[in-house]
Amino acid sequence: MSNGFDHAVSLTTSGLKSSLATSLAVSLVISFSLICQPATAQMGGTDSQNTMLQDPNTNPNSKPNQKKAKKSKVSNKPLDPSLITGANGQLPPPDATLVREVVSSEGIEREFYVHVPKGYDYNRKMPLVMCFHGGFGLGSRMDALTGLDAISDQNGFLLVYPQGINRHWNDGRNIDGHDRYNDVQFVSDMLEHLERRWNIDPSRVYVTGVSNGGFFSQYLCLMLPGKFAGCASVGATLPDIVHSRGRPTKPVSMLYILGMSDPLVPFNGGPIHYKTFRDRGSVISAKEATQYWVKANRCQPNPRTIDLPDVDPNDGTRVKYAQFSGGLQGSEVVVYGIEGGGHTWPGGLQYLPEGTVGKTSRDFSASQAIWDFFKNHSSSGYR
C-alpha cells in the first residue's frame, strides 16, 4: 500500500487451486447467501436502534414470544471446518478454561462461553471482547483457531464466545431460515447479563468474528449503534444486502483482516461460492466496504500505508496495512490486506488444506492485532 489503499485493493485476487470437494468445505459455503445492490453510506441520526436497516429479526415469523423457554439448537452435524487440526480431521480438545452461561432471550435459552482472565477482580470494571464463530462453528472451540484466550490473560479483558443456533448467525442476509432467530436481541440480552454478572465496562465493549461471525459483528454495529467501541471482521467484507439497506447512525472503529486470495469471500467483491456452488449471494469489494465505514465515520480520506515485514518468507503471503484516522469521536478504519492469504485467521490454525481455504499468513497475529486496535477505542454513547 505504499502508493495508497487504492493500489493495494486493485491487486487482482489470485485463484487458489482447490483440491478437496468435501462436505466440510460445502458447509462453509452454505453459511452465506444474499442479494441486493450497494448504496452510499453516510452518518445518520442518533436512534438507539437503526430502523433504516429494516431488521428481519423483527418480522412476525420470528421465533420470539414463546411462552416457554426452549433450549437453543446446537446441531450435531459434522464438524465445523474451522475446528480441524489437520489431515487427520481430529477435533481439538474443549477449552477447559471456559465458563458456560445461559441467558433467556425471547423465550429461547441461549448459551455462551466466558473466558475469565487471570487476575480478574469484580470490583474493577474490565473491557469485554465478544468473538463470534463462523458458519457451522462452535463458540467453545474458537480459541483453538484464534489463540485469543492467551491475549485475554495477558491484557486483562473478559472474553466471550457466544453460540449461534444451528451453528449460524442471523447476519441480515435472510438465508436458510436463520432469520427466524433474533440474534441481535440475544446479544443485547447477553450484554445486560454480562454487565451484572461480570462488571464489564460498557464503554469498552468490542465485537469480532470470522466469516459468518465477521458479517454478524458488523451487522451488530449497525443494529445496536453506540453499544460497541470497535469491531474487527476477519474473512468477511460486507454483504450487498446489508450495505444497501441502511447506514451507520453512530461512529464505530472498524478493522478488516482480509485475504486477497480468499476463495470463498472474494476480496474484490462478487458472488460467494466454492467450486460448483454458485448463486449464494455476493459481497461488495474490500475497497467499497472500507469506504463505507470511512465515510460513515468521517475519517480522513487518505490513509497511512505500510508494507509489513515478511516475517515468514515461506508462508506465501505479504501483508499490506492501511489506516484511515481522524474520524468522529476518535474513530478510525484499519485494513490488513493479505496478499496470497485465504479464508483464514492470520497467525492461527490452518484448519483445512490450502487447496480448500487458502493460505494462513504467519507474518502477524490477527488476535494480537485485534486487541491492539480495540484497546485504543472507547464508546461514549453506549445507551
The CATH number of the domain holding residue 307 is: 3.40.50.1820
CB atoms within 10 A of CB 104: 13
How far apart are alpha carbons 47 and 309 in whole angstroms? 43
| Number of domains observed in the structure of the chain | 1
SS3 371: helix
Which residues sit opposite 324 in a β-bridge?
333
Residues for the chain: how many in total? 383
pLDDT value at residue 37: 31
pLDDT value at residue 165: 92
Residue 382 in domain: no
Least Cα distance to 213 among 242, 230, 236, 195 occurs for: 236
pLDDT value at residue 60: 38
The answer to whether the CB of 142 falls within 8 A of the CB of 148 is yes
pTM of the model: 0.78
Q: Is 165 exposed, middle or buried (0-12, 13-18, 19+ CB in 10 A)?
A: buried
CA 190, distance to chain mean position in Å, is 17
pLDDT value at residue 57: 40
Q: What is the DSSP letter of 274?
A: B
Least Cα distance to 371 among 160, 195, 206, 139 occurs for: 206
Residue 240 in domain: yes
Range of the structural domain that residue 297 is part of: 5-39+46-374
Q: Is 155 exposed, middle or buried (0-12, 13-18, 19+ CB in 10 A)?
A: middle
Least Cα distance to 130 among 208, 210, 191 occurs for: 208
Residue 319 in domain: yes
CB atoms within 10 A of CB 107: 13
pLDDT value at residue 326: 97
Residue 260 in domain: yes
pLDDT value at residue 276: 62
Residue 13 in domain: yes
Least Cα distance to 320 among 340, 300, 293 occurs for: 340
Average pLDDT for consecutive 10-residue bins of the chain (383 residues)? 38 34 35 31 38 37 39 43 40 71 95 94 95 92 95 97 93 73 95 94 97 95 95 96 88 98 95 69 93 96 97 97 97 98 97 93 98 93 43
Least Cα distance to 82 among 15, 154, 8, 133 occurs for: 133
C-alpha cell at 333: 478504519
Residue 383 in domain: no
pLDDT value at residue 247: 81
pLDDT value at residue 176: 66
Between the alpha carbon of residue 31 and those of residues 28, 130, 134, 278, the distances in Å are 6, 20, 8, 13
The answer to whether the CB of 298 falls within 8 A of the CB of 328 is yes
pLDDT value at residue 339: 98
